[in-house]
Amino acid sequence: MITSRRWLLRTTTALAAMSAALAPAASPASAATALTVQTQPTLRRAFPEPPPAVIARNELGDLNVEAPHSMTGYSRAKFPHWAKQYGECDTREVVLQRDGQNVVQDDKCRAVQGTWHSEYDGKALTAASQVDVDHMVPLAAGWRAGADRWDNARRKQFANDLDHSQLIAVSAASNRSKGDQTPDLWKPPLRSYWCTYSRAWIEVKYVYQLNATETEKTALREMLDTCTER
């Protein structure tokens, strides 16, 4: 029995070696292609869709209610943002490419051409200088909601999150109007975007287990009421 097993092992090994020898060698081009596939990042092509309203309502109900924390010690530097994602491309440039149309980037990954639609106010933008990449839940708002207790690694993740609905390219004017305000103090001028905005805001707070105030939760419920599917 042992001899049979050894013969079977030797036969199997020999056949494998023969198959490898007979297989056509990969051409340099195909090898290069395989390497490219492995090293190129997987890029999103759209703003990450937040959960539907019915789930957002449940997540909103689970948010811990707490008064805003002190801004003592806050600094944007404690949220290392616009981190490198790949090559010369940082988070901001990745979002500009993702959210724009016909975006052309230079060898430093800077957007030098393209158009963008600002979901907050409906403006058409024709230059990257007119565009801001907004943190759905602003860094300072996150600090007041519990990020003051995080370490810098967690804050860096929050500031550069491309997997959830935390980053979006919008008009500089709307982003600066928003500042670090929560939905009870600021809402997108376009009421038609309230549904997506509230779902996105809730998702980010839920994923990162950030607190909310009662007035903030009330405003978010009102915004969710604008969703077609409730």
**pLDDT tens digits in sequence order for the chain, 230 residues long:** 433 333 333 344 443 443 443 344 444 333 333 322 223 354 557 899 999 999 999 999 999 999 999 999 999 999 999 999 999 999 999 999 999 999 999 999 999 999 999 999 999 999 999 999 999 999 999 999 999 999 999 999 999 999 999 999 999 999 999 999 999 999 999 999 999 999 999 999 999 999 999 999 999 999 999 999 75
Contacts of 198 (CB under 8 A, 6+ apart): 56, 183, 220, 223, 224, 227
Cα torsion angle, 179, 182, 185, 189, sign: positive
Smallest Cα–Cα separation from 217: which of 182, 179, 189, 193? 182
Residue 88 lies in a domain: yes
pLDDT digits (tens, 9 = 90+) for 38-49: 233 545 578 999
In whole angstroms, give the CA distance from residue 56 to residue 230. 9
Q: Are residues 129 and 167 in the same domain?
A: yes
Q: Are residues 33 and 75 in the same domain?
A: no
Q: Are residues 92 and 205 in the same domain?
A: yes
Q: Are residues 4 and 82 in the same domain?
A: no
What is the tally of structural domains in the chain? 2
Q: Are residues 145 and 50 in the same domain?
A: yes
Residue 8 lies in a domain: yes
Q: Show the domain range for 16.
A: 1-40
Q: Are residues 67 and 152 in the same domain?
A: yes
Burial of residue 59, with CB atoms counted within 10 A of its CB: 0-12 exposed, 13-18 middle, 19 or more buried: middle
Q: Are residues 71 and 130 in the same domain?
A: yes
Are 120 and 188 a contacting pair, CB within 8 Å?
Answer: yes
pLDDT digits (tens, 9 = 90+) for 159-196: 999 999 999 999 999 999 999 999 999 999 999 999 99
Q: Are residues 77 and 102 in the same domain?
A: yes
Tell me if the pTM is above 0.85: no
Residue 108 lies in a domain: yes
Residue 173 lies in a domain: yes
Q: Are residues 15 and 73 in the same domain?
A: no
Residue 229 lies in a domain: no
Q: Are residues 62 and 33 in the same domain?
A: no
Residue 230 lies in a domain: no
